[in-house]
Amino acid sequence: MRSRDRSFWMWAEALDLLQGAEQLQRRFFTLDTPQSVPCWEPAVDLYQHADEVSLLVALPGVSAGQIEVVLDQGDLLVRGERPMPPALHRAAIHRLEIPYGRFERRIALPPGNYRVTQQLIENGCLVLVLRHL
């Protein structure tokens, strides 16, 4: 392969990656999506102690009343909405990195049957404790 061919290939590959990243960013930060379509997924930590599974779901700016938690055939579904602050509705936005709108995250649980024994918002995170039945 000649040197010129290699550099052309690298630029073409870099442009493809940038275009893919832009598409993901547009999809991730969509504000005017229909209410039924989630537009972002929160980060989750899952850990287990004996017969309990604990989850930490990163949801800063989301109140407890905006969250739905459902146990569904070995999975845990967390969904809801983080609304845009009213001050942003009329503002000129120069940077928008925090995702707003509907969110949904399906988390596969370790094998077993569980029930939710604790659910609270603490320091911007949803804390869930599930007990193995």
12-16, 45-49, 55-59, 70-74: lowest mean pLDDT where? Answer: 12-16
pTM of the model: 0.71
> What is the distance of C-alpha 4 from the center of its chain?
42
Mean per-residue pLDDT for 108-125? 95
Alpha-helical regions (H) of the chain:
3-28
Binned at pLDDT 50, 70 and 90, residue 119 comes out as: very high
Mean per-residue pLDDT for 27-45? 72
Q: What is the dihedral of CA 30, 32, 35, 41, to 10 degrees?
A: 10
What CA–CA distance (Å, rounded) separates 22 from 55? 31
Per residue in 72-101, pLDDT (tens digit) is 988 999 999 999 888 888 888 888 889 999
